[in-house]
Amino acid sequence: MTRDLSADTRLLGVIGDPVGHSLSPAMHNAALEATGLDYVYVAFHVVPDLLVAAIQGMRALRLCGLNVTVPHKQAVIGLLDEVTEEARSIGAVNTIQQVDGTLRGHNTDGYGVLQALRQEGGLERLPGCVALLGAGGAARAILHALLQQQEVERVVLLNRTVARAEALAAALDHRNAVTVARLDAGSTAMIRPAGLLINATSVGMYPHADQSPLTDGRGLHDRMVVMDTVYNPSLTMLMQQARCAGARAVNGMGMLAYQGARSFQIWTGTWPPVDVMLQAVRSRLTAVHDRSNA
Ligand code: ATR
């Protein structure tokens, strides 16, 4: 890949700690290449003690936009000039846009999950009952997005540490739609009524590909869509359990690509080719596996 960078080239990037594993540079540069837009996207390893300096640097260098990843998504909020209502109620920013010296924080994760459910899960409308596993940062953005959908009447929120799920529900559930329970071998009855199950825990992620957040596939059924936010491996143990039960199962690549696509649009004003972004993510993951198996 050779691109003509010049004094006019605008800079995009991601800040995180660690950031070396991020797929965002590959994904965004592939879309920039395909659209011919004059931007370049790089990764910055920013330790927490230097977050304030990094955001000052963004202003000084007039960077066009940044993605924000772990552990800075919450802390960065207080350093920005404006934050969208959505990002404020989620309590996390994953995208910063700089316009005329003003830094505006967005959160595109909720958009990413809803769009992936539509495009890949085949769900134009969400079912009335959704089971959500997890209570960390990913679960927070997803729960917020689910509760915005009027057709979702009930969310069953399951987590290993119940207190964390209770705290999450207390923060976001303003319409009494969330039921909290422990994620364990007894979760089957809680899961069965759901038409959609989303795994927002990190269980099953490489290198623990033999693990699933559900002890076995009981509770999964053929009228259910299962989305795993894990995308490495691309076919997780949970997805295998889901397919055995006849359910439609998708991994987290769609969510990753659509949240990225929305950020791209915020920065450039152009909707990117999402298939190109997905392909870049797949090739990068394959290359990483090939290297670690060599
Ligand atoms: P993220 O920001 O990616 O969501 P996180 O905040 O570390 O990451 O949250 C990880 C989620 O995976 C949590 O819901 C966590 O459960 P706890 O709140 O009980 O820690 C869940 N998780 C991680 N490892 C797990 C395991 N072995 N079994 C069950 N849940 C697990």
User: Does any ligand 1 atom lie closer than 6 A to the CB of residue 161?
Assistant: yes
pLDDT of residue 286: 87
Residue 132: pLDDT over 90: yes
Cβ-Cβ contacts under 8 Å for 121 (sequence gap 6 or more): 196, 225, 227, 248, 250, 254
Minimum-distance ligand 1 atom for the alpha carbon of 137:
2
Q: What is the spatial distance between Cα 3 and Cα 25, in angstroms, rounded to a whole number?
A: 14
Residue 73 annotated to the active site = yes
Q: CA 281 → CA 115, 118, 170, 284, distances in Å?
A: 17, 20, 35, 5
How far is 31 from 186, CA to CA, in rounded Å? 44
Are 105 and 77 in contact by the 8 Å Cβ rule? The answer is yes
Under the banding of pLDDT at 50, 70 and 90, the label for residue 139 is very high
Atom nearest to 201 CA in ligand 1 = 12
Angle (CA) 37 97 285, round 5°: 65
Choice among 16, 51, 72, 73 that is catalytic: 73
pLDDT at residue 1 in the model: 54
Q: For 29-53, what is the mean pLDDT?
A: 98
Q: What tens digit of pLDDT does each residue of 242-291 get?
A: 999 999 999 999 999 999 999 999 999 999 999 999 999 999 998 877 77
Other Cβ atoms less than 10 A from the Cβ of 36: the count is 8
pLDDT at 144 over 90: yes
Query: For residue 27, is pLDDT > 70?
Result: yes
The C-alpha atoms of residue 202 and residue 192 are separated, in whole angstroms, by 22
Residue nearest to atom 5 of ligand 1 (CA): 136
Measured CA to CA, the distance from residue 167 to residue 147 in angstroms comes to 16
pLDDT-based confidence at 137, cuts 50/70/90?
very high
**CB 160 near ligand 1, within 6 Å:** yes
Mean pLDDT for the chain overall: 96
**Cβ-Cβ contacts under 8 Å for 5 (sequence gap 6 or more):** 40
pLDDT over threshold 80, residue 2: no
* Mean pLDDT of all residues in 114-130: 97
Q: What is the mean pLDDT of residues 120-136?
A: 97
Average pLDDT of the residues in 111-131? 97
Residue of 113, 133, 187, 202 with the most ligand 1 atoms within 8 Å of its CB, for mutation: 202
d(CA 9, ligand 1 centre) in Å? 39
CB 212 less than 6 A from any atom of ligand 1: no
CB atoms within 10 A of CB 174: 9
What pLDDT shows up at residue 244? 98
Check residue 140 and give its pLDDT. Answer: 97
pTM for the whole thing? 0.95
**pLDDT grade for 292, boundaries at 50, 70 and 90:** confident
Residue 288 has what pLDDT? 79
**For position 83, what pLDDT does the model report?**
98
Per-residue pLDDT tens digits for 85-120: 999 999 999 999 999 999 999 999 999 999 999 999
Counting residues of the chain whose pLDDT is more than 90, the rounded percentage is 95
pLDDT digits (tens, 9 = 90+) for 54-82: 999 999 999 999 999 999 999 999 999 99
Non-local (6+) Cβ contacts of 180 within 8 A are 157, 158, 159, 162, 165, 166, 169
The confidence score (pLDDT) of residue 92 equals 96
- Helix locations, 136-187, DSSP H: 137-148, 162-172
Check pLDDT > 80 for residue 180.
Answer: yes
pLDDT for 208 equals: 96
Q: What angle do CA 158, 256, 18 make, to 5 degrees?
A: 85
Q: Which residue's CA is minimally distant from atom 9 of ligand 1?
A: 136
Q: What is the pLDDT of residues 4-22, one digit of tens each?
A: 899 999 999 999 999 999 9
Mean pLDDT calculated for residue range 229-236: 97
Residue 294 pLDDT greater than 80, yes or no: no
Nearest to 185 by CA among 215, 213, 156, 157: 215
Ligand 1 touching residue 159 (CB < 6 A): yes
